[in-house]
Structure 1
Amino acid sequence: MKILKSFFQLRHNLKSVLFYTCLSLLIGSSSSVFAQQSLIRYVQPFSGTSTSTTLASQHVEAKSEQLANTIPAVAPPFSMTQWTPQTQLSEKKCLAPYYYNNKQFYGIRASHWISGSCTQDYGSFTIMPISGKLKTRATDYATSYTHEGEIATPAYYKANLPEYNLLTEATATLRCGLIKITAQKADSVYLLITPNSDQAKGYIKIDRQKGEISGYNPVHRIYQGWGQPAGFSGYFFIRIKKNFSISGVFSESRVSADQSIENQKDLGAYLGFKMQKGETISIYAGTSFTSIAAAKLNLEKEINATSFETVVAKTSQAWEQSLGQVKINDPGEKNKRIFYTALYHAQQHPRLFNDVDGGYPAFAGNYTRKVMQKGNYYDDFSMWDIYRAQLPLMELLNPGLVGDFASALVLKGQQGGWLPIFPCWNSYTAAMIGDHATAFLASAYNKGIRGFDVNEAYRLMRQNAFQMPDSATYLQGKGRRAINSYLKYGYIPMEDAVVNAFHTKEQVSRTLEYAYDDYALATVAKNLGKKADYEALMKRALNYKNVFDTAVGMVRGRFENGTWYSPFHADHREPYITEGTPRQYTFYVPQDMPGLIKLMGGAKKLENELDSLFAKKEYWHGNEPGHQIPFLYNYTASPRKTQQQVSRILEEEYSDGPGGLSGNDDAGQMSAWYVFAALGFYPVDPVSGVYQITSPLFSQSSITFKNGKTLLIKTQRETKNANYITRITLNGKQLSKNEITHQQLINGGSLIFYMGE
């Protein structure tokens, strides 16, 4: 099996080399060394689309298939729409558009799937080419395909459809896609264009004279307000660069010569062509969240009549520039593939939401179009996941972009009345727990990132922290869940079941995460001179102590009268813990590690508890609450155990190939963890701007920051087996602790890790 896997990996690599060699020719002679210098060639878009093959995935509780739910997304970083081959029908929750092991091909989808999530796609549409007889039911026109001849890069996708004798290729810009269909024999060819509504909604219209198709797929909310209209649609405008001889619309297998159709089950449009072998159809598609006219404008401004090859080259170059901020010098080709794939996955979301003219749908479903005066507007913040590492990674690499993210969150709060907890589908959701828009805004502000109204941000953050919305507002997903109980008791007691939330109960986890958010807000209050708020919030930042039972040495559910929930099971999934166990969540006190250590009984006790967690195989890297845990040995006398555990996780939890991720990537958080850990530092407490250090994976790497400065990271080993840090110097001066600050990093220079046995 290993030999077979290696063969397929080698074959894929050879295909990639050939593709990039051809791409260098397409770009032109000025880029003749493109193939040799390319970083995009290391990116594996299929990673996470198949059952996990990592060692760690064999040890998780669930024995079912482990899927990371990523897609082979074709688009520039942080784009409005990703273009993906579609092997899975519907926009239903937890069904990604593409799975590597599925055998049926349904077309190229213009997708708004949140990468690596268990949510749902929205506002999408699919373009499917077929030949021979017209078929309009998906189960009839789906075609078997293999990965033979398939190529996927961040800028280009190609698949051969043998049953139809058609070659399908796709590329994309920020808001638009370009698909090319090539006939491999003379035949009748049809294009099927389908809005992917699971609610028998949507609209599509054909203008045969102009060769244009337009339509929309209405978006509906998820979690709070589930199923309600979100106040916008996924709009599309398509221009076909080839005359079609016939056209019409359909609903399931019912075909009509009409040129438009609306609100019917599995509706779509078909276009018919007579094609000779070697002829092509070019499909130019613009997308928007505000209108068909805006989708058309986006297409005209971003692509217009640009050739397919030029779009591939430009989008490839965009990725080269982005990936090229981090350069790796290491003989391990496999690790380079994993690293640059992780960097690719970490740059999918948040999603660009505004048109080229600045227009975007107002937040929270009020059906109006707003216009950005400067910057861009973003959505799909999987906030419970990405505040930990993915957003902090962008704070390092692209602070200007982060300023736009922060501005978008403030705009949402102004338009909806409350700062959102987990804004996706451009709506309130109340998904997951915590109030981590606050943590992110504080993190960005404390690192000197501006571009947003900090006073408005503070007002909105403070409202979440101190006020309970009225009942109707609360039902819409606004405000912190169970905030009244939290303010009254200093923790959320077991009697409060936290109704009207996607996750009910989970009182202890909520208490811990609110305490962190209170600390985050306190740091901003201090900088803004709001002394009373600062003092109150810093006191609340210690609320984690109220759910720590010293009798068992861990966090535990607690009742209003102060008694503890029984029985206590340290390593079981308990109703008061989110997606984990009491043992795992006990280590979530990033704002006050000295205080947690004291509660535990000292640094040696913390070390022993960490040892126990790893010995029992209770560390679960496939989910976010424990991502900081391996770095906590830095707060003990044994920081080399951080280096040992992080190195093991890098080796066991990540691999290359389609099964290379061991759990949901969650909008890039799992991947961002890899990027940080491989470089040698991680933001245990992103609000503080301090990173905990570990041994780098690579012998040498460099980071080029937007301020023009470069940080060179090197390891110097005393012997071949020297794997542990003996000392660290930054610009020749030895670091006194196993940590480094944000400012030290972005000031650039030389960071050298001296390694011994």
Structure 2
Amino acid sequence: MKKIFTAVFCLAALYVTAQTPNLVQYVHPIIGTDRMGHVFPGATVPFGMVQLSPETDTLSYDLNGKYNPDVYKYCAGYQYTDKTIVGFSHTHFSGTGHSDLGDFLVMPTVGKLQLNPGTTDKPGSGYRSGFSHANEVSEANYYKVKLDASGIIAEMTTSARVGFHQYTFPKTEQAHIILDLMAGIYNYPGKNVWTYVKILNDSTLVGYRQTNGWARTRTLYFAMAFNKHFTAHGFANYTPKEPYKGFWAKFNQTKNFPEIAGKQIKAWFDFNTDEGEKIKIKMAISPVSMDGALNNMQVEVPDWDFEKVKADGQALWEKELHKIEIKASEDDKINFYTSMYHAMINPTIYMDEDGKYKGLDQNVHQADGFTNYTTFSLWDTHRALHPLFNIIEPDRNADMIKSMLAHYEQSPEHMLPVWSNSANENWCMSGYHSVSVIADAVIKGNAPFDANKALDACIATATHRDYQSIGLFMDNGYIPDEKDANSVSSTLEYAYDDWCIAQMAKKLNRTDIYNQFIKYAQNWKNVYDPKSGFMHPKEADGTFRKTKFDPFTTIDMGFIEGNAWNYTLYVPHDPQGLIKAMGGNKRFITYMDSLFSYDLPDKYFAETEDITKDGIIGNYVHGNEPSHHDAYLYDWTDQPWKTQEKIRMILPKMYKSTPDGLGGNDDTGQMSAWYIFSSLGFYPVAPGSDQYAIGSPAVDHATINLEDGKSFTINVKNQSPKNVYIQKITLNGKPLKSYFISHADILNGGELAFVMGSRHK
């Protein structure tokens, strides 16, 4: 009887496995590692603190003072076309347009010890090694590569707070592990404020690194453990020597000394290895303390089972990926699930396993009832990433908002985050788009926090008169051109954010606040010039700038990361008002058609380092987020079929299953979130509304598995690359009367069904 039961159980398990597709196989982290995608190919778990990935260049000064100035290219530390690897570090931004992080670089070597990384043209001059993509594997939570210089096989995986390395060595008495605390993505003189290493025993060490980079006051702690005792260790201190060296001058700190401190430190650890022996390393990090890092290691990865940590991490990815299950071509599955992967890297957990984290006030706090997050690239992610989370990650998104509210409480300015990372506010980009994220959650009913208190934080941020010309916006109804280089784009972004505040106030029955901010929401009209037909810089005397206005250029036109052609459409909260202001339906459609068809002259691509032909179709800039809602604006006209046409044109042009397959920076998941929504057939044009605009689905079928057990399915008949036009659309069997659905339609579960064809209706 027992044997029969066992056999039945095994058959049932096999049946369940067969019914549950492996989605991790479709994740290709190498997509976007070439050109301007700025993503990394290494290992991480969903929203993990550790991103363990190779560096093909760290943009550091070498020991001879030679500097690589190509900062923008290496925002994630890795470029697919490079031929060498300099090491493996533990922290990375995913898809940003700014270079930083790259903490605690580790590199295995054999032979004579070399502490200089060497150069790309002469990798043998240092510890840098050549490699081949033929010997490289990049998966969700797993990276593997052969280092040609030594023959070492490097493998890595992670838990949330621990990077796990596994290096397979040849037989040698000269095996080394180098720990470079000088290295980092975009280093420069003064960035390393202080570093410290302490040897606890002959297999464990702790330390920290303080940097003054994009985050000005950032300290990251580590604990590092080996599975084998090292035979010797040493330090190199490249900190500029002071005239007086003090007490420590009488000690030889370079060989087997227990600790060292300085601005520029490297350490090495020696081993004797047999052929095929695996040296394993666990590197745990903490924003709080070295003890916190040790505890993170003990709790998350107590043993030395590399395959278990890899499997556990991939199981976490499998769970996340199954929140949306699709039927599509194999290539589209790769693009879709890689987009899901990229969308779930940031924001990142920023607290120890015991709930302690460093706050914006640089004090240690205890997270009470929430997980604390960091890396809020809100100018980008408020548009689609956080709305996506409100559908498939509502609990996590709520914790992200609680993290923003904690930031507000700890802020000396009493402002919500703008672009925050590692207990620092970077003040990057314009607007105050945490307001959009909070309002979107409140409007959609995902607010397990004090919504009125959150609204107060939004109001305080939006009325902080001394920040980025907010006072001028409130007093004039626009920001004068003479006062702010981003006068037009900031006016437009503030108007949208203030509309979000108005929607939240309306839901919370705070009529006085609603009346105040709905008025501010109309300030976009004050920078629209009907004579030029564009959003236009406006001077303090109330007249539009008469000279030096070029709607194609990005320089000195009053816009940030965009031109007048694209920003003129940035009124996501009032498309009908915009259409009316621009002369009505016919003229608006002509403008939209021209946006996608006009061939932007080459001279405009040379204006700034981050404007290339990547991500551009005509004059439509998909690689920069202010345009992401543009194609959906046809839904407010009498030609909604053009939205369908444009979406299905953008998808294959901007997203490919190749290393150069991202048409611009992924921007911590925003580009990927656009792909996910658009592939499913709808998009949140104005977060802060419960409305989604219909596009043209690129999948055959999709099931969104909601957290309460319900599911929302998308069924598509006659799907093909040519059948991009909707012939019929129904919601739960009833014809859809408009090209919009609500958030409640999704959360209630049911079916959105499309019938597609090759001609528009």
Pick the TM interval, shorter chain.
Answer: 0.7 to 0.9
Consecutive unaligned residues of structure 1, counting only runs of 5 or more, are 1-28, 52-66, 470-479, 498-504
> Conserved in 1, the CA contact under 8 Å of 2:648 and 2:724?
no
Is the CA contact 1:221–1:425 (under 8 Å) kept in the aligned structure 2? no
- Partner residue, 1:529: 509
1:200 to partner: Cα distance:
4.3
SS at match of 1:542: helix
The ranges of structure 1 where at least 4 consecutive aligned residues each deviate by more than 6 angstroms after the TM superposition are 29-32
Task: Give per-residue Cα distances to partners, 1:69-92, cap 9 Å, x unaligned.
Answer: 111141111111211012112479
User: TM-score when scaled to structure 1?
Assistant: 0.87
| Structural RMSD (CA) | 2.1
Conserved? CA contact 1:123–1:234, under 8 Å: no
For the residue of structure 1 that corresponds to 2:713, the secondary structure is strand
1:612 is the counterpart of 2:581: no
Q: C-alpha distance in 1, partners of 2:59/2:695?
A: 43
Q: Counterpart of 1:280?
A: 278
Match for residue 425 of structure 1 among 408, 422, 425: 422
- Equivalent in the alignment of 1:571: 552
Moved more, 159-168 or 269-278: 159-168
Q: 1:305-325, CA deviations, whole angstroms, 9 ceiling, x for partnerless residues? A: 151011111101100110111
1:153 positional shift: 0.8
Aligned partner of 1:397: which letter? I
Query: Counterpart amino acid of 1:262?
Result: A
- 1:447-466 alignment, distance < 5 Å: 447-466=444-463
* AA of the residue aligned to 2:95: G
State how far apart, in whole Å, the 2-side matches of 1:555 and 1:562 are. 14
AA at the equivalent of 2:53: T
Q: Does 1:634 align with 2:635?
A: yes
Please give the secondary structure, in 1, of the residue aligned with 2:688. helix
Q: Identify the range of structure 1 (599-608 vs 33-42) with the bigger mean alpha-carbon deviation.
A: 33-42
2:280–2:304: 8 Å Cα contact kept in structure 1?
no
> Which residues of 2 match residues 268-667 of structure 1 at below 5 A?
268-330=266-328, 332-363=329-360, 366-416=361-411, 417-469=414-466, 480-497=467-484, 505-567=485-547, 568-573=549-554, 574-616=556-598, 617-667=618-668
- Cα distance in 1, alignment partners of residues 31 and 254 from structure 2: 39
Stretch of structure 1 that moved more, 714-723 or 735-744: 714-723
TM-aligned CA distance change 1:283 to 1:629, over 3 Å = same
1: CA distance, partners of 2:313 / 2:257? 37
TM-score (norm 2): 0.87
Per-residue CA deviation, residues 35-62 of structure 1 (Å, 9 max, x unaligned), is 99311111111111113xxxxxxxxxxx
Q: C-alpha deviations, 1:425-461, integer Å up to 9, x for none?
A: 3222221011101111101111111233322211111
Residue 259 of structure 2 is aligned to residue 260 of structure 1 = yes
Match of 2:167 in 1: 181
Alignment pair present for 1:736 and 2:744: no
Q: Percent identity?
A: 33
Give the 3-state SS of the residue equivalent to 1:540 in structure 2: helix
Q: Distance in 1 between matches of 2:339 and 2:386?
A: 14
* Deviation for aligned residue 1:144: 1.1
* Alpha-carbon distance between aligned partners in 2 of 1:79 and 1:517, rounded to the nearest angstrom: 29
Q: Match for 1:528: what amino acid?
A: L
1:34–1:282 distance in 2 versus 1, CA, 3 Å: farther
Amino acid at match of 2:162: C
User: For structure 1, which segment, 82-91 or 522-531, has the greater mean C-alpha deviation from structure 2 after superposition?
Assistant: 82-91
Which amino acid in the other structure matches residue 121 of structure 1? D
Pair 1:359–1:730, CA change in 2 (3 A): same
Aligned to 1:110: 90
3-state DSSP of counterpart to 1:651: helix
Task: Find the aligned partners of 2:405 and 2:166 in 1 and give their Cα distance.
Answer: 40
Deviation at residue 656 of structure 1 after TM alignment: 1.0
Q: 1:372–1:698: structure 2 CA closer, same or farther, 3 Å change rule? A: same
1:245 aligns with 2:231: yes
Paired residue secondary structure (2:295)? helix
SS at match of 1:290: coil
* Residues 86 and 107, structure 1, Cα contact 8 Å, conserved in 2: yes
1:48 maps onto 2:49 in alignment: no
* 1:130 maps to which of 98, 103, 109: 109
Which residue type is aligned with residue 550 of structure 2?
H
Q: What does the per-residue CA deviation read over 1:360-408, in whole Å, with 9 as the maximum and x for residues that have no partner? A: 0011xx3311011111001110010000011111111110000000000
What's the offset of the Cα at 1:123?
Answer: 6.9
> Per the alignment, in what secondary structure is the counterpart of residue 753 of structure 1?
strand
Distance 1:651 1:515, change over 3 A: same
Query: What stretches of structure 2 of length at least 5 have no aligned partner?
Result: 1-12, 61-68, 119-125, 240-252, 599-617
Q: Is the 8 A contact 2:192 2:211 kept in 1?
A: no
Cα contact 2:380–2:667 (8 A) shared by 1? yes
> Contact 2:223–2:285 at 8 Å: present in 1 too?
yes
Q: How many residues in Structure 1 have an aligned counterpart in Structure 2?
A: 686
Aligned partner of 2:131 in structure 1 is 145
CA deviations on 1:93-123 (whole Å, 9 max, x unpaired) are 6332211122221222101x22111223237
Distance 2:269 2:723 in 1: 64
Stretch moving more, 641-650 or 90-99: 90-99
Q: Is the 8 A contact 1:249 1:259 kept in 2?
A: no
CA distance in 2, matches of 1:317, 1:374: 25
Q: 2-side partners of 1:262 and 1:720: how far apart?
A: 60
Q: 1:171, 1:315 → 2: CA distance? A: 8
CA contact (8 A) 2:557 2:563 kept: no
Offset, 1:166 = 1.0
Output the amino acid matched with 1:619: Y
- Letter paired with 2:320: S
1:728–1:751 CA contact under 8 A, matched in 2 = yes
Amino acid at match of 1:689: D
Please say if residues 204 and 269 of structure 1, whose CA atoms lie closer than 8 Å, have aligned partners that are also in contact: no
Following the alignment from structure 2 to structure 1, what is the Cα–Cα distance between the partners of residues 171 and 55? Answer: 24
